[in-house]
Amino acid sequence: MKACTWLGGGNFEFGDVPDPAVGPDDVLIRIGTVGVCGTDVHITQGLFPSTPPKILGHEASGEIVDVGRNVSRDRIGESVVLNHSTSCGECESCLDWTVSRCERNTQVAAFFAELASVPDQSAIPVPDGLDVEIASITEPASCCLSGVSRLQIDDGAIGLVIGGGIMGLMTAAFLKTHGVKTVAISEPVGFRRDFAAQLGVDVVHDPAESNLEDFVAELTKGRGLHIAAEAVGKPELVAKCVELVRPRGQVLMIGVSPQGSPLPVDLYDMQYREVVLQSAFGRGDVFNRTPGELMKLNLDGVISARYALEEVPQAIKDSGEGKGVKLVIKPNG
């Protein structure tokens, strides 16, 4: 099969690699769509730990084309979205923390390729009515849904998301569907602000036109936000969220800051106001129900550009430059 292998830095090699082996409990997927994730970008920039050479890509949907001997052949032809980890349901992480951190995980994502072999449990059926291409955003959406699900949302809550990339947009959308009365987003790119409104966001803010502090003061009548989510991955913006919430407000870290980053906050002020800092990383326990949550949203146009498999380096470059809402790879055309 063809694949695009990361060699380190911004270097990739496109070419033939061995077809993946299909174990007795596995299914073989013809990859239809793979999302370009900010993590892929950060890996190539040295901001997220990873060791080459390897095939990247962990946000995929496609079609089952073969199954292992222990899997029903009725699954062949099924449209699925791929979880990139398994869960045993028995270890302490599965029982007490989150199934996405299973201590016995056997799955490794390598989806910038024409084919992928995954455990049967990792291939989740795409619900009727959800486009299989759009279903490829299940992985990033599930990370946002997991984070939002951990918040305490009170009646009349006002929430702000800083950053309107796919993670910020999904976080804002799920804040709205989970009961936040007024959801705002701050994003410098116009078409992302427009898409936020399409998803039900109530107020959009252009940081080039007005000061964020003044915007929040007007939005909250000077009281501060109930919830502020950082979806960029910059420590100084996490600190800004801490500053903008009211006493006992909640700050949600969705964006992933570079490894080793300090948090530049006044800890006395944060403690005095009893601010809650809630971090979120991964899909928690919500991956399987996320496609159903996506069906509640107007996602027309969420995919801004499609690239051939050999164009992975360009897609990662474009994603890093903030082009589009969601960029995807089409390994099989």
pLDDT, tens digit (0-9, with 9 covering 90-100), for 285-333: 999 999 999 999 999 999 999 999 999 999 999 998 988 899 999 999 8
**Token pair of 317, please?**
């470059």
pLDDT of residue 161: 98
Residue 53 preceded by cis peptide, ω within 30: yes
pLDDT of residue 198: 96
The CATH number of the structural domain formed by 2-141+284-330 is 3.90.180.10
**Token pair of 71, please?**
């899997």
> Pairing between strand 203-205 and 225-230?
unpaired
Residues 6+ apart with CB under 8 A from 39: 48, 58, 256
Instruction: For residue 275, give Cα distances in angstroms to 93, 229, 252.
Output: 27, 13, 11
Chain Cα centroid distance, residue 270: 28
CB atoms < 10 A from the CB of 323, how many?
A: 13
pLDDT of residue 258: 86
The CATH number of the structural domain formed by 151-279 is 3.40.50.720
Q: For residue 257, which amino acid is it?
A: S
pLDDT of residue 107: 80
Give the separation between CA 75 and CA 224, rounded to whole angstroms: 51
Q: What is the pTM of this model?
A: 0.94
Domain map (residue ranges) of the chain? 2-141+284-330, 151-279
Task: Tell me the backbone φ, ψ of residue 34, rounded to 5 degrees.
Answer: -130, 125
Q: Is there a contact between 159 and 226 (Cβ–Cβ < 8 Å)?
A: yes
Q: Is there a contact between 242 and 270 (Cβ–Cβ < 8 Å)?
A: yes
CB atoms < 10 A from the CB of 80, how many?
A: 23
Residue segments in the chain with a per-residue pLDDT below the cut of 50? none
Give the separation between CA 52 and CA 333, rounded to whole angstroms: 26
Instruction: For residue 71, give Cα distances in angstroms to 27, 76, 248, 321.
Output: 8, 10, 50, 42
Q: Which of 103, 48, 100 is nearest to 316 (CA)?
A: 48
Residue whose pair of structure tokens reads 């695009």 in the numeric block: 4
Q: Assign residue 305 a region (left: φ > 0; alpha: ψ between -120 and 50; beta: otherwise).
A: beta
Rg value, the chain, Cα: 20
Give the separation between CA 126 and CA 174, rounded to whole angstroms: 19
> Pairing between strand 182-186 and 158-162?
parallel
